[in-house]
Amino acid sequence: MKTHERDQMEAAMRDMAKLLSSYRKQLLKEGFSTLEAMMLVTAYQATLLTGGNKS
């Protein structure tokens, strides 16, 4: 993997982490339990990474 490709991947992962953290905080603010919020965040992350494909 080339340096610029690795840098782009790291930037994307950092952005994803910020997005997921924000989503989790919002879910907790809206009254979801910690477990429910983490389950929803995990499902959202899986959807983002797989493009919605379950296979």
pTM, 2 dp: 0.80
> How far apart, in whole angstroms, are the C-alpha atoms of residue 20 and residue 45?
7
Give the model's pLDDT for residue 30: 98
Instruction: Assess contact for 49 and 24: CB atoms under 8 A.
Output: no
Other C-beta atoms closer than 10 Å to the C-beta of 32 total 16
Give the model's pLDDT for residue 1: 77
> How far apart, in whole angstroms, are the C-alpha atoms of residue 15 and residue 21?
10
Long-range contacts made by residues 26-34, C-beta under 8 angstroms, separation at least 24?
Answer: none
pLDDT tens for 16-42 read: 999 999 999 999 999 999 999 999 999
